[in-house]
Structure 1
Amino acid sequence: MNNTRYRIAMDGRRIAFGLAVVSLILPVTNVFVTKPAAALVAASSPPFAWDLETVDANRDTGLSTSVALTDAGVPYISYIDSTQRLLRVAHRTPTNWSSEIVAGPGSYTGNTNIAIGPGNAVQVSYFNQTSNAVFFAASGPSGWTTTRIDSGFSEGWNRFAIDPAGRPGIVYTGFDGSLRLASWNGTGWSIEVIDSTTVTSRYPDLAFDALSQPRISYYGSGTLLYAEKSDGRWTRSVIDGTEGAGLFSRIRLDSNGAPHIAYYASRNTSLMYATGGTTGWTRSLVDSGGDVGIDLSLTVDSADRPHIAYYQRTSGTLRYAIGTVRGWIRETVDNSGVVGWYTGIATDSRGFPHISYYDWTDRSLRYARGKIALQVRSLPASPIDLTSVTLTGELVAFGNHSEAMVKFELRVDGEARTLIVGNVTKPGTFSFAVANLSTDAVYEFQAIARAGNETSRGTNLTFRLTALSHPFPLDVLLVSVGVGVGSFAALFIAYFVRGRRRGKSKSRD
C-alpha cells in the first residue's frame, strides 16, 4: 500500500515536470513587437508653428479676451480696454487690425465673450460693474445695440453661446451666487435659476447640443459640477469631487454631442480634462508642473479634437495643448515676457488654432495663429493574425490644402511597397491592413501625405511578427517548481526512471 502511494506521488511529479519541459519546447506564436526606428521623433513634438501679432498696443488693453471666427476665417476678438474704460471688438483686416467700441466709457470686469451668429453677425456678452449687470450686445447696420439681461455677481462670471437655431444664450452667476441661464426666445429673454443651493456657482460655461439643449460646466462648493437640460428638466452632477477642482471651467461638445470639459485643479496646480456625460466621466491630466491651467479656454474642432490654450504661472508663458489619438501634445506658444492671461481660442475649418490673450509685460492685446505645412504622423502598427497587421497614421494638419492623399510605405530587406489609402478631407487617423507577411522579418513603415506640391512624411517605425521558443526565462520557471538549473535534468530523469522501475516491479507482483 505504501509503495503504491509513493509510486502515484512520483508519477504526479513526473507529469508536472513533463508539462514544464513541454512548455519550454512548444513555441508561442503571434507575439507582436513594435518599436521606433532610429530616427523616431519624440511624441511630444509640437504640431504647430505660430504667427504672433499685437492687436491693440494701447496700455492696459486686452483683458478678458474671447475670439471667434467668421465663415471666411476672419478672427474677431472681444476685450476690455482698461485705460479708456471701454469694451471693444477687434477684427483682422487684410493689412492690419481694426478695433471698434461696443460699450463705454464704463467699468467692466469678469468675462467678455464673442460669437458669430447667423449672417456673420457679431454678438457679445459682458458684465458692467457700474450697474452690476450682465449685458448682451449685437452688431448691426447702424452699430452696436446693447441690452441689460439681469443683475449679476460682482466678479462678473458669464459665458455666451449660440444654439443651432441661431438663438443666443448666456450662463452667469446671479447677484445671489446662483447659477442662471438667460435664453433668447425670439421676442425676449427668459431667465432660469438652475442651481440655487450651491454656494456661489462660479466659472460657468455653456454649450448647446444638436437639439438646442443646454449643457453647463461650473465650479461650486469647491468641486467641478455639470448641469444639463432634457425634456424640460435640469439634472446636475459632480464631475470631479476633488477639492479645488473646476476653476476656469470650459465646456464644448463634439459632433456626437459628448461634452468635453477643461478645468484647473488648484490642489495639484494642474490642467485637467473630463469627457463623458450622464453615464459616467473619464478624467485625465493634460499638463502639470509650473502651476498650469489658469485662464484657460477650450474648443473642439471638426475632427472632434480638443484644443486648450492656458497660462503657465511659474514661467509666465502662454501654453497650448491638443488632444490626439496618441494623447495630449503640448507646447509653448509665446514666452516673450509674462504672457498668456485671459485666453480665448477658436479653430478654423482646417483645424488651425487661433488664440487671443493678454500680454502683461507690454500691457497689450495679443493674437497667435497656429500654422503649419501639411503634417502626418506614423502610429504604432497592430496585429491582425500571425501574418497580417494594420498600419495606422494620423493626418494632423492640412496646411493650406482642403484635402490630401494619404498612403504608407512598407519596407523589408531593402524592398519597398506603396500602400495607397486614398484622399481625406478631415484631420484624423487612417489605416491599411497588410496580409501575407513573413514571420520573424523586421518591417519598417512610414505614413505619407501629399497635397499639391507638398509631401509630409511621418516617423519611421518598425515591427516584427515572431514566434518565441522561450515564453518565460528558464531560471524563473525552475524557481517556480523549486529546483535549481543544475539538478533539473537529473531530477527529471531520476523520477522518470524510478517511476518506470517501480511500475515494472508492481506489474511483476
Structure 2
Amino acid sequence: MLRLFMLIVASALAMAVHAESTITYQGQLHHDGQPYEGNPGMEFRLFGSLNGSDQVGDAEVFSAVTIEGGLFQVELDFGEGAFDGSQRYLEIMIAGDTLVPRQRITGSPWSHQALGVAAGSVGSDQIATGAVGSNQIASSAVGTDELQSDSLSIGSGTGLQGGGETPLGGSTTISIADAGVGAAQIAPGAVGVNQVDSDQLQLRITGTCAPGTTLVGVNADGSVVCESLPFGVAYVLESEGEVGLHNDIAIRDNGLPVVSYSDRTAGALKVYDCDNVVCSSGTVRTLYSDSNINMGHFSSIAIRDNGRPIISYFGSNRSDLKVFDCDNAQCSSGAVHTLDDDDIVGMWTSIAIRNNGLPIISYFDYINSDLKVYDCDDVGCASGTERTLNSGGIVGEYSAIAIRDDGLPIISYRDSGNNSLMAYACTDVSCSSGIARTLDSDGDVGKFTSIAIRDNGLPIISYRDSGRGRPKVYLCGDAGCSSGNDRDIDWFGDAGRYSSIAIRDNGLPIISYYNSTDGNLMIRNCKNVTCSSWGEPPTRVLDRGDDVGRYTSIAIRDDGLPIISYVDYRNYDLKIFSCGDPSCSQ
C-alpha cells in the first residue's frame, strides 16, 4: 500500500511558496513499509475544503516524477490568486490511485500573501538598504505629492559635478567634471568611429593612392586625397612580339583609357584595358587573331552611348573593312562584323559615334582610290550602308572623322593625286550627301590627318607638310570648313608624322606627333584656340630614343590631363605617356 508521510511531526512534507504563484512541494512516499523507488505519473489538485468539489485552479499533471529513496519534489502552479488567505487542501493522485485524505496546507505556503501586503504594514524598517531603486519604482509613480519634504538633495557622484539641494518642481544640472572620465570609466568597445569627433581626432589612414598618383591629404574619416603626379610618366604596356602598331586610344565612361592596336607577330587585333587613369597597369586582350592574316591595321576606337568600345580596322590579307563590337566596357568578349569586302577596302579607318548613338566610319577604297563611309544601322554595326563620298583621283588616304555640334560628320583626308589636304562636310547624319573641299594644296601636304571640334564648334585639323617636313594645323572658319587658314606648328627637323589632335578642358588644342630626325615623341601646346601662339613649353620631347613616337594617338582624361598611346618602334613595344599637367610641360 502507498502511504504519503507529511513533514509535520515525522518529517515527510515540505512546501515553499515563491514570490509568484508557484510552490515547491516535497514529499516522502512509502510502499509496504519501504521507501518507494520509480517514476510514476502524478496529479495534484487544490481544493477549498477537505471533501468538497470546490477545486481551485487547474490540475497539475506530471507523466513521470522521479522518486529516489522515497523522496520527490515538484513545482506546482495553480494560478494567480490560488492562495488568497482561505483554507486550502491538496489532493494527490499517484499512478491512478488517489491518496486520502486530502492534505491541509498550512505554514510557509501562506507567504504567498506577500503579493498583497496590507496598507501600512511595511515601513522603512522593513526595507533593506538599497533594496528599492529606479527599477523597482513604476514610471510616474512618485511625484511631489508623495514626498514629505519641500526639497530634494541630489548628489553628483564620482566623476560628476553639480546637483545639491533643489526645491520640489525645480531643476538642477549634473555634468561630467573635468577629467571625470578616464579609461577606467569607459567600457571596452564603448567608443568607436561613431563616437569620435572627427574635428578632434584623426582616424587611422585606410586608403591608398593608385599608381601614377600621389598623396596630397588625408580626410577626417581616414580616406586619402590623391592627385595625378605633377610630371609625366611613360609606361610600357606590352612588349611581347611586334605590338602597338596602328594604335588608337579612347576614354571610357569609368574614366579609364582603352587602347586598340595590332600585334603583327600574332596577326591579331588587341586592346589594352587600363586598370587606372594613367594606364600604369592593365590587361592585354586578344580580340581576333589569325597568324596568316594581319588583323588590326588602321584600328580606330570609340566609346558608344552604352559605355562599350567599338573598333574599326583593316584585315590586310583579306583586305576588308571590319568592326569588333565589344560586349562590355572591358572588351573581354564581342563579335566581329565584316562591313565591306569589295576588293582592297578598309585602310585608314576612323570611327565616331553620332548623336543618334550609331557609329559611322570613314575609310579608303584602295582599288578604286575612293573615300568611303560606312553608315551603321545599329549600335553594334552588324549591318549598314557603304557610301562612296569622293572618287576623283586618288582620294581618301589618311582619313579622320569627327561629329560637329550640329550632329553632322566631317572628314579630313588626303588627295594623293594633287598632294592636298581635303575635307568632306556631310550635309546629313548618314553622310548620303556632302561637299568635298580642298583646304591646303601648297606643296606635298595632307598626310597623317587628325580632326577635332573646338569649343566654338569649328573643326581643327592636324596634318603633315611632307615637302618641308613640318607638322601643320588647318583652322576652319566655319563648321563646314568652307574657309580657313593653315599654320605651321614646328620648324625643327623632319617632324609631323603620325599627328593626333585633341581639345583640352580649357578649350585649347594639343597635338602629339613623331619627330623623324631624332626619333622622338613630341607634343605641341597651343596657347589659344587658333594655335597662333604657344604655351610654355611650346614644343616638348615626351619620350626620346632611337625610334619612339610612331602611331601616336592622344585623348584627354576626365581629370583634364592628356594621355598618349604610341609605339617604341625600335623594340616594337606599345607605350603610354601620361601627362602630369594639361600642357604636358613636365
TM-score (normalizing by structure 2): 0.46
Task: Output the CA distance in 1 between the equivalents of 2:370 and 2:385.
Answer: 16
Task: Output the CA distance in 2 between the equivalents of 1:352 and 1:218.
Answer: 28
SS of equivalent residue, structure 1 residue 361 = coil
Task: Output the CA distance in 1 between the equivalents of 2:254 and 2:244.
Answer: 29
Q: Deviations over 1:443-499 (max 9, x none)?
A: xxxxxxxxxxxxxxxxxxxxxxxxxxxxxxxxxxxxxxxxxxxxxxxxxxxxxxxxx
Task: Output the CA distance in 2 between the equivalents of 1:207 and 1:168.
Answer: 11
CA distance 1:303–1:185, change in 2 (3 Å)? farther
Aligned to 2:287, which of 129, 149, 165?
Answer: 149
Letter in 2 for 1:195: D
Instruction: Determine if the alignment matches structure 1 residue 165 to structure 2 residue 312.
Output: no
Aligned to 1:364, which of 517, 520, 523?
Answer: 520
Aligned to 1:255, which of 405, 412, 423?
Answer: 405
SS of equivalent residue, structure 2 residue 424 = strand
SS of equivalent residue, structure 2 residue 254 = helix
Q: Deviations over 1:416-458 (max 9, x none)?
A: xxxxxxxxxxxxxxxxxxxxxxxxxxxxxxxxxxxxxxxxxxx
Q: Deviations over 1:293-321 (max 9, x none)?
A: 11111112333211111110111001011
**Structure 1 moving runs of 4+ over 3 Å:** 151-155
Q: Deviations over 1:99-123 (max 9, x none)?
A: 1111114213641111111232011
Task: Report how far residue 185 of structure 1 moved.
Answer: 2.3
Q: Which runs of 5+ in 1 are unaligned?
A: 1-73, 75-91, 376-395, 400-509
Instruction: Determine if the alignment matches structure 1 residue 177 to structure 2 residue 319.
Output: yes
CA distance 1:241–1:335, change in 2 (3 Å)? same
Task: Output the CA distance in 2 between the equivalents of 1:201 and 1:251.
Answer: 14
Task: Output the CA distance in 2 between the equivalents of 1:173 and 1:158.
Answer: 7
Letter in 1 for 2:358: Q
Task: Output the CA distance in 2 between the equivalents of 1:293 and 1:93.
Answer: 36
Task: Report how far residue 201 of structure 1 moved.
Answer: 2.2
Letter in 1 for 2:523: Y
Letter in 2 for 1:349: D
Q: Is the 8 A contact 1:164 1:210 kept in 2?
A: no
Task: Output the CA distance in 1 between the equivalents of 2:467 and 2:263.
Answer: 31
Instruction: Summarize the alignment of residues 387-466 of structure 1 with structure 2, pairs less than 5 Å apart.
Output: none
Q: Which runs of 5+ in 2 are unaligned?
A: 1-211, 213-227, 536-586
Task: Report how far residue 280 of structure 1 moved.
Answer: 1.2
Task: Report how far residue 212 of structure 1 moved.
Answer: 2.3
Task: Report how far residue 170 of structure 1 moved.
Answer: 0.6
SS of equivalent residue, structure 1 residue 334 = coil
Letter in 1 for 2:377: S
Match of 2:458 in 1: 305
CA distance 1:139–1:165, change in 2 (3 Å)? same
Task: Output the CA distance in 2 between the equivalents of 1:287 and 1:110.
Answer: 28
- Give the number of the structure with larger relative contact order, counting CA–CA contacts within 8 Å between residues 6 or more apart: 1
SS of equivalent residue, structure 1 residue 289 = coil
CA distance 1:155–1:148, change in 2 (3 Å)? closer
Identity %, equivalent residues: 25
Task: Output the CA distance in 1 between the equivalents of 2:500 and 2:412.
Answer: 13
Match of 1:4 in 2: none
Instruction: Summarize the alignment of residues 17-28 of structure 1 with structure 2, pairs less than 5 Å apart.
Output: none
Task: Report how far residue 350 of structure 1 moved.
Answer: 3.6
Letter in 1 for 2:494: V
Instruction: Summarize the alignment of residues 33-432 of structure 1 with structure 2, pairs less than 5 Å apart.
Output: 93-94=229-230, 96-108=231-243, 110-140=245-275, 143-151=281-289, 153=294, 156-174=297-315, 175-186=317-328, 188-220=333-365, 221=367, 222-230=369-377, 233-276=383-426, 277=428, 278-325=431-478, 327-372=483-528
Letter in 2 for 1:340: G
Match of 1:54 in 2: none
Task: Report how far residue 157 of structure 1 moved.
Answer: 1.7
CA distance 1:302–1:165, change in 2 (3 Å)? farther
RMSD across aligned positions (CA): 2.7
Higher strand share: 1
Task: Report how far residue 254 of structure 1 moved.
Answer: 1.5
Task: Output the CA distance in 1 between the equivalents of 2:295 and 2:257.
Answer: 26
CA distance 1:305–1:99, change in 2 (3 Å)? same
Q: Is the 8 A contact 1:153 1:177 kept in 2?
A: no
SS of equivalent residue, structure 1 residue 148 = strand
Size of the alignment, in residue pairs? 288
Letter in 2 for 1:219: F
Letter in 1 for 2:288: D
Task: Report how far residue 224 of structure 1 moved.
Answer: 0.3
Q: Is the 8 A contact 1:345 1:354 kept in 2?
A: yes
SS of equivalent residue, structure 1 residue 268 = coil
Residue range with higher mean Cα deviation, 261-270 or 326-335: 326-335
Task: Report how far residue 155 of structure 1 moved.
Answer: 8.1
Q: Deviations over 1:118-153 (max 9, x none)?
A: 232011011011001110111115821111112363
Task: Report how far residue 330 of structure 1 moved.
Answer: 1.2
Higher helix share: 1
Q: Is the 8 A contact 2:250 2:259 kept in 1?
A: yes
Task: Output the CA distance in 1 between the equivalents of 2:455 and 2:338.
Answer: 32
Task: Output the CA distance in 2 between the equivalents of 1:163 and 1:194.
Answer: 18
Task: Output the CA distance in 2 between the equivalents of 1:109 and 1:315.
Answer: 28
Letter in 1 for 2:414: Y
SS of equivalent residue, structure 1 residue 205 = strand
Task: Output the CA distance in 1 between the equivalents of 2:333 and 2:240.
Answer: 26
Task: Output the CA distance in 1 between the equivalents of 2:422 and 2:353.
Answer: 22
